[in-house]
A and B are shown apart, each in its own frame.
Chain A
Amino acid sequence: MLERKFRLVVIGVSSGGVQALKRLLGALPADFPLPLAIVQHISPDAGDGMARLLEEFCAIRVKEADEQERIVAGTAYLAPPNYHLQVERGGLLSLAADGYVSYARPSVDVLFESAAAAFGRTLIGVVLTGANADGARGLKKIKDAGGLAIVQDPADAFAREMPAAALAATGPDYLLPLADIAVTLLRLAAAAQPGKKVADV
């Protein structure tokens, strides 16, 4: 199958995340045709400052996820501090106040596993910089469910452990420096739009 229609991008990022998200999300145009759900490890007491900072900086919409919010294209949803973020079938977001998973809350694995089950092969998973192994198990689930995996080249990452753990868990479709991830997402997302084809996906 050459032509693929993607419907959602999920991103996991930890230390070095603010800078990485600024560069990645900042490079996406306002009419980016997919929604993005993001877990950035963040202190439990942080407010929604992170979402507001990115919203100001980016052309796409950036906001903290609300419970049972419906995802729409061109919007990035950040997990709130202290809650896990999940994607439900049919494209609703849900939150969970469970304990830590993979030593984190929000946890990248929780987001990725829920999205893999709900979106299967129409999902793109991205693991960026971070100093722990959260996201590795989830990225493997995404691959197992037929989704596409992108990992930031550990050599290019502010903290290499998280992308390195993802690499050890599964073979990604793309291993890229941060600077190339936005273009790649744009190219992949273009296939989601009728009339455009991407030959090498």
Chain B
Amino acid sequence: MELNGAQIVIQSLKDEGVEYIFGYPGGAVLHLYDALFQQDEVKHILVRHEQGATHAADGYARATGKPGVVLVTSGPGATNAVTGIATAYMDSIPMVVISGQVPLPVIGSDAFQEVDMVGITRPCVKHNFLVKDVNKLAETIKKAFYVATTGRPGPVVVDVPKDITDPRIKVPYKYPKKVSIRSYNPAVSGHKGQIKKAVDLLLTAQKPIIYSGGGVVLGEASKELTEFAHTLGFPITNTLMGLGAYPATDKQFVGMLGMHGTYEANMAMHDSDVIIAIGARFDDRVTGKLDEFCPHAQIIHIDVDPASISKTVKVAIPIVGEVKPVLEQMLEMIRESKKKPSKKALESWWKQIDQWRAVKCMEYDRSSQLIKPQYVIEQLYEVTKGEAYVTSDVGQHQMWAAQYYPFDKPRHWINSGGLGTMGFGLPAAIGVKLAFPDSDVACVTGDGSIQMCIQELSTALQYNAPVKIINLNNSYLGMVRQWQEFSYESRYSHSYMDTIPDFVKLTEAYGHVGMRIDKPEDVRPALEEAFAMKDRTVFLDILTDRTENVYPMIEAGKAHNDMTLRVADGTSTDRELA
């Protein structure tokens, strides 16, 4: 088959099984858009801003496990995509971004809409390519998908100069079934000796804890993780990125750990003698003060990326490999082992954990006349029966969604953890809804964040992707305000906007349904009404208690056992329990 470059790109995407491509046209990709026009297998979603394209593709990828695909033009189209590429990079999300580039002969001449996309994205991609020969185009696209989806996943950029897609130049086309790259061989199964050592250590632990993260979601190992935890009877905590990888309603789950984690999770980490970290990367939001991180623990770490291991915290037993096969191997060894976890030790460990649980760190004032954001999330959970896909933006609302919506399934909690990108939630929700049109998709957002990609309301209408937007409107950049309250004697420097738009009217202008809710008793009925409108995008502008803070909190530079908890009168306290 002979095809021109533009057709090769589109045909390669078809052969790769790509369903959706999120993009925005422009000069450098006109040939590509012409080829797109002449087929209807790959569906193109025209966003309203290239950042939206990357987040939508990212949401699609997080919900499905398949790579998200983006198409943008050169110059400003490419730079607009960078924030979304970096967002995917920080959370290890598989994504392939095809960017147009000026024709090869004029590269380097400051041509119209030229930017060095390969240079700009180098530090925030897993890899990138500049295509210099149309004969290598199909193979390069195959390599891009291969790199993006294997090992530790991540975004890959393919920069395609306009002359490479010239419709007049046809070359033989064959999409490779497989590619190999001699310098790229990600580990799969772990080292058997190391796994054996880890199992021995686990079976002698007195105060063990499982600390699992996004790697379990990415590695599709929820089933294995659940079985592993049940077999051992150990407590388990998840990172923000790992939520849903283990059923949050299970009794062994002690909640999220880290800066806004539960009291019991952080205390258990601090007091533990053996930690097994599974697909988690010891982020600073999780560890708090490094010198005082888990002072008594021996640590086992399973990660597919050797560079994640002993990066910030030294571990005793590193295991480089994919979580799924490693956990399978561990389970087998545990079952075959004559040693069993010490029942007595575990009993007293659980007793201790139950005492920490009794602190009830997640309680909040349920009798308030104001709408409490936590209450909204609890109601959202009930109305959606815990089965919705929930995307979020970044801020206090993100933490409340993570804390008060117990996710039982992986790939249902979709948020930007590593980069913390405001503007992520709405486009991501659209990507999810396109992938799962029959499921409820909610975007929990804030009055600040939603304005960063609000233009995508228009995309939701055009492609019939009805999502429910839950705007926890506190008229503040609340997370910033909270830090200013705690650390800057309440000097609220620019964390307040006094011209927040009328979101109801704005939503209506975009062709959707808007509702404003300002009384606690209206929250539940409004949510029910919104979710009953299956084919409409509904924006719930919920005016919440403006002064509410996220608790518990480990303030910057503090250790796990030095948390700030909420006290009954609504003020916070430093609480040091040992």
**A in complex with B:** no
Residues of A within 8 A of B (CB): none
Residues of B within 8 A of A (CB): none
